[in-house]
Structure 1
Amino acid sequence: MTDTDTWRLSASETVARTTSGDLTAEAAVDAALTRMDAVNPNLNAVVVSCADDARARALDLDKARASGAPTGPLHGVPVTIKINVDQTGYASSNGVPALKDLIAPDDAPLVRHLQDAGAVVIGRTNTPEFSFRADTDNPLHGRTHNPWGKHVSPGGSSGGAGSSIMAGIGALAHGNDIGGSLRFPAAANGAVTVKPGLGRVPAWNPSQTAERGMLAQSMSVQGLICRTADDLHLAMPTMIRPDARDPFHVPLPWRGDALDGPIKVGFTKETYEFDLHPEVSRALDMARDALTDAGYQVVEVEPPHLRDCGMDGYRTLMGEVLSLMGPDIEKFGSPTIRAIFDEYFEQFAPYKDTDILRMMAKRTFYARAWSEFLQDYPLVLCPFLPQPFFAPDRDTQGAAGVREVLGSALWSYSMNFMGLPAACVPTHVAELPQGPQPMSVQIVARRWREDLAVDASAAIEARLGRMCDLLWQRMG
């Protein structure tokens, strides 16, 4: 196979070839690195190259296979890791210049598990400062661009992951999500992802000097951004393997029990006080029709307490951020990120004192209401954002910018507050006045049933196609 063919392979296709002997791990990694050299200078998605380590590891994998050693489920798959997660010998800078020399003494659980499964880390992807924007730019590594064009943000905070995976740099891209940081980049770039639920993927950075706040622990999750839903089914069983360093990890298998009869999908276009764009409405209709054709029973619903849950969740998180992260943001953050946080605190007035404790308790009320709701509707098809994805730096443009970027993202951060899994899958490319961009929908699932959300994403993809194929035609 030529490099042109090889870098286009999905993770599933790569594993099929590396385990059969049709493709070496060295060839798979070399193709990904060649692609990175070709497109990354215009994207700035991968900001730290791991090329030398990757080539050495690929050779070791090939030697082990030649000697008769068993291959892992991700044998030879090129992957990227976000720069806010520990990888031995590399800085976990989180986009902050003051942390540029914070070298990881050991691998985070997900990095260890991916490599134990045979994956090869080829680079580390960009994030905004403190990984707390839905756009990706920082004073340490600069701006990441969307491969669809500079008219649209690559999303954040896993913007480097979303940009790189869709441009063909590697077959799997690690990211994380505390309020939408897997789904924003997936939606912006036309990728597919699933935000795992609470406790699903073990998390811990050995470079940490203190534990994160309790709400951050409850809302933040680790995951993958992919070009195809099948790759989530391939790789997520590796991601959810247990690790003793996360004492609250939930050791459940990836696949849950089969459900009786056609799966009922709650369907809603509700965007509350925000206008629903015709292209978002069209995306929801296309996804609904795809699921119906695939045998799902789609029913219009009114989900419980969504707006209140979203606002209470974000105001509670902002209260914790103000108390625990505020001093570091003020001391180490750039003027840009400080101004953005000032606007966050203005629009999402942080809960304080006993109010924050009451809202952390009320989180159970919202989660219970949704747990009961999801007994009747195991999946919910809903908007992710009410409007097409925003332009770069929109969140630096005062109250209106922050309202468009995060204020309208009720369907995003409410799922983090309740700890529910939520997938994001593209439907079509909208030809908008500002330029072309992919449109996506969100699929919420019952607790610990990420597999159901990925199944539904695969059904939509089977009907509507992969966005990467359209993107690569445009990229040439």
Structure 2
Amino acid sequence: MNAAHPMPSSTTLGSPSLPDELWRWSATEMAHSVATGLVSSREVVESCLGRIEEVNPQLNALVEVRPEEALSLADDADRRRSAGEELGPLHGVPVSIKVNSDQAGYATTQGVSAFQDAMANEDSPHVASLRRAGAVLMGRSNSPAFAYRWFTNNDLHGSTLNPWDASRTPGGSSGGASSAVASGMVPIAGGNDIGGSVRYPAYACGVVGLRPTVGRVAQTYHPDDVDASLSVQTMLVQGPLARSVADIRLAMRALNDFSHRDPAFVPGAQAAARPDRPLRVGLVRDLGVAAPTAEVNASLDQAAGYLRDVGCVVEEIELPVLAEAYRLWYLLCMEEFRLAMPMVEEVGDAGMKKAAEHYYAVAADWWGEKPTLEQFIAGYARRGTLIRRLGEILETYPLIVLPVSAEQAFEQNADIASVERMRQVMAAQASMMAIPVLGFPAMSVPTGVAGGLPTGVQLLGRRFDEETLLEAATVIEARAGTFTPIDPR
């Protein structure tokens, strides 16, 4: 770091000390230091570019980085600060964008070779929000083809590795985002989640990931002239990944802009009323779909203990509503996706095609080979009932602690190894898969490391009550600590 810029003080940032390498700093520390002139955005961006050059060749987390463009954005951020202009919450802070999100001047590849020239003319609303908040858009993070798997590899961009263990998945579909954040390339990465694609990568790489309430963050997923499927409109969200809860808060301050382009966006949504104290917390170990491993159970006990220590009343409960919602995902989402299968057969890669074959084989156990229109309509009707039932439970337990997955990070390509292994993978993800169907907010919080792999828990809360999740996550993080950035292993 340039000696002309002193280290931020502990009284300024609430941290006893900060490392010399700026890429190691949190987004909160970067934003404060840039805004107050302690460091320049150029220095921060140069440091992150150096880290990308050091570790990205091994991890392949960011698949398109334009250093000169990033430095130009940083210089503009420094100019605006020097001119005394109003600064956004992420002013001068590096952020990555996923390859399935529109970013003006970049191809929205979706990890598909046929789309490598699908240039976006304008930002998706959530990308525009980050840009208006002052973020320096640093690069494009990898994703499986069509964001379809919990494993991040595709024929266009190649495989992304988990910095903790190259033999394990970094998660998917936001696996490039989680790998980049965990290894220190960027402090915040954008992701999206319709089946766990923010929370599972965060869990697999030992970082924090938030899935907001449906309607909280304005987005587009398809070009405006393409009709988005009903599941995308009702279940998909954009959410941040970061190394700390404070940085998730910071990112959510940025992802708060109005947009008329999102039919599900709820402008000015009223936050849920603060729950009564002491906070009642439901602890769910097993939905009756897949028994958690000893490591997952230990993480649940650990998080529950931390919450009890600050006065929460933690009670073990059963939550069959989520087991039903999990199976419903494979009716409502997968049957809609079946309409896209001719395109998948034409342009999808071999891994995605095999994953789809296995998904449908397992889903047939519940819904048959060809679910009927009547089943699909009844499924959406049932969805409304389950939303109401879960809402009622959350009035009693405004916070629920449960697994992200019943296993730690899967071995690479476990989903395409066999139908039986896919059946196990799908079952392990049940508590994570259920939540998007019902549109509630949830987040993944790391709790430790076991067997060389991260562990963590999932927090589920009331709609438009992200604040309770963030407060609980802060307690867990304060006791468990943070575990990244790390060097690839």
Q: TM-score, normalised to structure 1's length?
A: 0.95
* In structure 2, distance between residues paired with 1:46 and 1:243: 28
3-state SS of the aligned residue for 2:180?
helix
Q: Which residue of 1 aligns with 2:363?
A: 348
Q: Which residue of 1 aligns with 2:417?
A: 397
Segment drifting more, 275-284 vs 334-343: 334-343
* In structure 2, distance between residues paired with 1:235 and 1:276: 31
Matching of residue 367 in structure 1 with residue 370 in structure 2:
no
Shift of 1:122: 0.6
Q: Which residue of 2 aligns with 1:250?
A: 266
Shift of 1:254: 8.6
Shift of 1:408: 2.3
* In structure 2, distance between residues paired with 1:377 and 1:252: 25
Equivalent residue in structure 2 for 1:130, among 137, 141, 146? 146
Tell me: CA distance 1:179–1:32, structure 2 relative to 1, closer, same or farther (3 Å).
same
Matching of residue 322 in structure 1 with residue 338 in structure 2:
yes
* In structure 2, distance between residues paired with 1:314 and 1:451: 30
Matching of residue 222 in structure 1 with residue 229 in structure 2:
no
Segment drifting more, 21-30 vs 351-360: 351-360
Matching of residue 21 in structure 1 with residue 37 in structure 2:
yes
Q: Is the 8 A contact 2:306 2:475 kept in 1?
A: yes
Q: Is the 8 A contact 1:182 1:195 kept in 2?
A: yes
Shift of 1:293: 1.4
* In structure 2, distance between residues paired with 1:369 and 1:142: 42
Shift of 1:205: 4.7
Residues 251-287 of structure 1 show CA distances to partners (whole Å, capped at 9, x for unaligned) of 2469654333221111121141423211101000111
Shift of 1:410: 1.0
Residues 374-403 of structure 1 show CA distances to partners (whole Å, capped at 9, x for unaligned) of 000101001111122211111111112212
1:198-213 correspondence runs (5 A): 198-205=214-221, 207-213=223-229
Matching of residue 116 in structure 1 with residue 136 in structure 2:
no
Equivalent residue in structure 1 for 2:89, among 73, 84, 90? 73
Shift of 1:334: 1.8
Q: Which residue of 1 aligns with 2:176?
A: 160
3-state SS of the aligned residue for 1:348?
helix
Residues 19-72 of structure 1 show CA distances to partners (whole Å, capped at 9, x for unaligned) of 111011111111111110111000000001132211111101111111111211
**Identity, % of aligned positions:** 36
* In structure 2, distance between residues paired with 1:450 and 1:91: 32
* In structure 2, distance between residues paired with 1:216 and 1:206: 9
Matching of residue 99 in structure 1 with residue 119 in structure 2:
no
Matching of residue 288 in structure 1 with residue 304 in structure 2:
yes
Matching of residue 337 in structure 1 with residue 364 in structure 2:
no
- Structure 2: where are the runs of 5+ without partners? 3-18
* In structure 2, distance between residues paired with 1:402 and 1:256: 38
* In structure 2, distance between residues paired with 1:305 and 1:321: 24
Q: Is the 8 A contact 2:287 2:322 kept in 1?
A: no
Q: Is the 8 A contact 2:287 2:319 kept in 1?
A: no
The one-letter code of the counterpart of 1:286 is: Q
3-state SS of the aligned residue for 1:284?
helix
Equivalent residue in structure 2 for 1:380, among 396, 400, 405? 400
1:169-318 correspondence runs (5 A): 169-205=185-221, 207-252=223-268, 256-318=272-334
* In structure 1, distance between residues paired with 2:397 and 2:287: 19
Q: Which residue of 2 aligns with 1:437?
A: 453
Task: Give the aligned CA root-mean-square deviation in angstroms.
Answer: 1.6
3-state SS of the aligned residue for 1:453?
helix
Shift of 1:248: 2.4
* In structure 2, distance between residues paired with 1:395 and 1:247: 33
3-state SS of the aligned residue for 2:154?
coil
- Structure 1: where are the runs of 5+ without partners? none
Matching of residue 35 in structure 1 with residue 51 in structure 2:
yes
* In structure 2, distance between residues paired with 1:282 and 1:50: 43
The one-letter code of the counterpart of 2:210 is: V
The one-letter code of the counterpart of 1:288 is: A
Residues 308-356 of structure 1 show CA distances to partners (whole Å, capped at 9, x for unaligned) of 1210222221111112x11211111122211210111111136332211
* In structure 2, distance between residues paired with 1:336 and 1:320: 20
Q: Which residue of 2 aligns with 1:460?
A: 476
Shift of 1:123: 0.4
Matching of residue 146 in structure 1 with residue 162 in structure 2:
yes
Tell me: CA distance 1:306–1:257, structure 2 relative to 1, closer, same or farther (3 Å).
closer
* In structure 2, distance between residues paired with 1:411 and 1:273: 9
Q: TM-score, normalised to structure 2's length?
A: 0.93
Q: Is the 8 A contact 2:283 2:401 kept in 1?
A: yes
Q: Is the 8 A contact 1:195 1:421 kept in 2?
A: yes
Aligned residue pair count:
468
